[in-house]
Amino acid sequence: MRTEVDCAQLVAAIGDAVVVSDAEGRITLWNAAATQMFGFDEDEALGQSLDLIIPERLRKRHWDGYDETMRSGVTKYGTQLLRVPAVHKDGRALSIAFTVALLTDEENAAHAIVAVIRDETSRWTEERELRRRLAECEARVSETKS
């Protein structure tokens, strides 16, 4: 069917990472942008838990939210951008922003989640540096007033 071909081409060509995971959080789709962003080849990612890219300290919180979303069939992150840390294959920290959508079956029950993810590590690093410099400037101004 032409629509399936178009969708496959879109997922392959899109510049943002597209990751689909099943109800248990196993990765079922991983596009080329996800490979570029996280460092894992498609063969390494498919079938693996999303823990592959979730920092260990955030996993409980992630899975609590994931399980609730799958149970309720509701997510607020379809329109609201979620910004969280992630982990690259080489262990370095990433800052990502993403939205999610639920994939449902014929009975409208959620069976998978698709995330469209953008790497914001550079932007986050720049903002952190600007905040640091602003704090230094404010401290200097306070010192000169004292």
DSSP code for 49: B
CA distance 128 to 133: 9
Q: In 3-state terms, what secondary structure has residue 98?
A: strand
What's the DSSP call for residue 79?
T
Q: What is the mean pLDDT of residues 98-119?
A: 94
- Identify whether 129 is part of a domain: no
Q: What is the mean pLDDT of residues 131-141?
A: 75
In three-state secondary structure terms, 57 is helix
Does some domain include residue 25? Answer: yes
**135 assigned to some structural domain:** no
- Domain membership flag for residue 30: yes
The predicted-structure confidence for 87-105, as pLDDT tens digits, reads as follows 999 999 999 999 999 999 9
φ/ψ of 131, rounded to 5, equals -65, -40
Residue pair 27/38 in contact by the 8 Å Cβ criterion: no
On whether residue 144 sits in a domain, the answer given is no
Q: Stretch 115-140: mean pLDDT, rounded?
A: 78
Asked, for residue 128, whether it belongs to a domain, the answer is no
Total count of domains within the chain: 1
**Interatomic CA distance for residues 117 and 83, integer angstroms:** 10
**Residue 28's domain spans which residues?**
2-121
What is the reported pTM?
Answer: 0.81
Q: Which CATH number covers residue 7?
A: 3.30.450.20
Q: Could you tell me if residue 26 is inside a domain? A: yes
Handedness of CA 57, 16, 42, 75 (dihedral sign): positive
User: Residue 138 falls within a domain, yes or no?
Assistant: no
Alpha carbon 102 to its chain centroid, in Å, reads 14
